[in-house]
C-alpha cells in the first residue's frame, strides 16, 4: 500500500504533464518573509506559518522550491476520527507510523530518524531521501526534503527537492466525537531533462499520479490515526519503538 516514500514519490511520478504550462492556474498568494519584505509564492493552500518562521538554514531552499516548482499538487481535504494530540504526535514520529502500518500487515517503507532529528529513507535501488520539519504549530506543518528518487522501474534516478505544506484542524462530528480535518499541498523541483523523460514514460496519467502523491501524505497519517481512534487499546503495541 505504502511502498514508496510517503510524500515525494507520488509527486515525482507526476513529474510534469507539460513543462510549458504553469504549475498552478490560480493567482499566487503573497507569503510574508519579514516585516520589510514580501515574497510572491504561488500557493493554493494557505500556509500555517509565515515564511519568516522557517529557520534561515532552510528558508532560502524552501522559497526556491515553492517559487519555481517543476510540479505542484493539492490533495483533497480529508476528515477522520482521532484525538488531536495523538495525531500531532504521529506527525512528529513518522518512523513509528510506518511501523504501525507494517504491524497491521501493510507493506510500508522503512523510515529512520537521525540523531539530528531528520528522517531518511532508501530503497536500495538508487532512491535516497532526507527530510525534516522546518516549521510547525497547531495549524500545520512544513516539511523540506532533498535527495534522489526513482519513480518506477523504467524511470531514471533523478535529483529532487520538495516542500510539503500540511494544514490541520481539530474538529468534532455531529455526534460530538473528536476528529481532524487536514489537507496538503506539495511542491517538487527536479532536473528538467529528467522530468521530460519521466513525463514521456507516464504520459497523460502524470497529473493524477501527482494528486495521488499529495493525498498519500494524508492517508499515511490518517489511516493509523483513525484506526487507533476505533481501537485505542492497540496504540501502545502498534506505535512502540522498533526493538
The predicted pLDDT at position 51 comes to: 86
Q: What secondary structure, in 3-state letters, does the chain show?
A: CECCCCCCHHHHHHCCCCCCCCCCCCCCEEEECCCCCEEEECCCCCCCCCHHHCCHHHHHHHHHHHHCCCEEEECCCEEEECCHHHHHHHHHCHHHHHHHHHHCCCCECCCEECCCCCEEEECCCCCEEEEEEEEEECCEEEEEEEEEEECCCCCCEEEEEEEEEEEEEEEECCCCCEEEEEEEEEEEEECHHHHHHHHHHHHHHHHHHHHHHHHHHHHHHHHHHHHHHHCHHHHHHHCCCCC
The model's pTM is 0.81
Q: Where are the domains of the chain?
A: 9-238
State residue 197's pLDDT score: 67
What grid cell was written down for 206? 502524470
Q: Decide: 160 and 10 in contact? Cβ < 8 Å.
A: no
Interatomic CA distance for residues 185 and 62, integer angstroms = 13
> What pLDDT score was predicted for residue 221?
93
Please state, in angstroms and rounded to a whole number, the distance separating the CA atoms of residues 236 and 203.
44
Distance CA 48, CA 50 (A): 7
Closest to 18 in 3D by CA, of 69, 71, 65 = 71
CA-closest candidate to residue 72, choices 167, 162, 178, 169: 162
One pLDDT digit (tens) per residue for the chain, 243 residues:
444 444 444 444 433 322 223 333 333 344 444 444 445 556 788 899 888 889 999 999 999 999 888 778 888 899 999 999 999 999 999 999 999 999 999 888 788 999 988 999 877 777 888 999 999 999 999 999 999 877 666 667 788 899 999 999 999 988 899 999 999 998 888 876 766 766 666 666 666 777 777 888 888 899 999 999 999 999 999 999 987
CATH (one of 3.10.580.10, 3.30.530.20, 3.40.50.150, 1.10.10.10) for 9-238: 3.30.530.20
Taking the C-alpha atoms of residue 70 and residue 200, their distance in angstroms, rounded to an integer, is 15
Say which residue the cell 489511516 belongs to: 223
Amino acid at each position: 500500500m505504502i511502498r514508496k516514500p510517503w510524500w515525494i514519490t507520488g509527486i515525482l511520478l507526476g513529474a510534469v504533464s507539460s513543462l510549458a504550462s504553469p504549475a498552478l492556474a490560480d493567482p499566487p498568494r503573497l507569503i510574508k518573509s519579514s516585516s520589510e519584505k514580501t515574497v510572491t509564492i504561488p500557493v493554493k493552500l494557505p500556509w500555517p506559518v509565515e515564511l519568516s518562521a522557517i529557520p534561515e538554514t532552510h528558508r532560502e531552499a524552501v522559497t526556491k522550491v515553492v517559487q519555481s516548482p517543476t510540479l505542484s499538487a493539492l490533495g483533497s481535504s480529508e476528515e477522520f476520527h482521532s484525538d488531536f494530540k495523538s495525531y500531532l504526535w504521529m506527525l512528529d514520529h513518522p518512523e513509528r507510523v510506518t511501523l504501525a502500518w507494517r504491524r497491521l500487515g501493510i507493506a510500508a517503507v522503512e523510515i529512520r530518524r537521525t540523531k539530528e532529528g531528520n528522517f531518511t529513507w532508501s530503497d536500495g535501488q538508487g532512491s535516497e531521501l532526507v527530510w525534516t520539519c522546518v516549521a510547525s504549530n497547531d495549524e500545520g506543518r512544513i516539511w523540506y526534503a532533498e535527495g534522489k528518487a526513482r519513480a518506477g522501474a523504467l524511470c531514471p534516478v533523478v535529483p529532487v527537492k520538495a516542500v510539503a505544506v500540511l494544514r490541520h484542524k481539530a474538529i468534532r462530528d455531529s455526534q460530538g466525537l473528536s476528529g481532524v480535518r487536514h489537507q496538503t499541498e506539495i511542491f517538487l523541483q527536479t532536473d528538467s531533462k529528467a522530468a521530460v523523460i519521466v513525463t514521456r514514460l507516464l504520459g497523460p496519467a502524470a497529473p493524477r499520479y501527482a494528486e495521488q502523491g499529495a493525498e498519500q501524505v494524508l492517508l499515511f497519517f490518517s489511516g493509523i490515526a483513525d484506526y487507533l481512534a476505533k481501537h485505542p487499546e492497540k496504540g501502545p503495541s502498534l506505535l512502540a519503538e522498533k526493538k
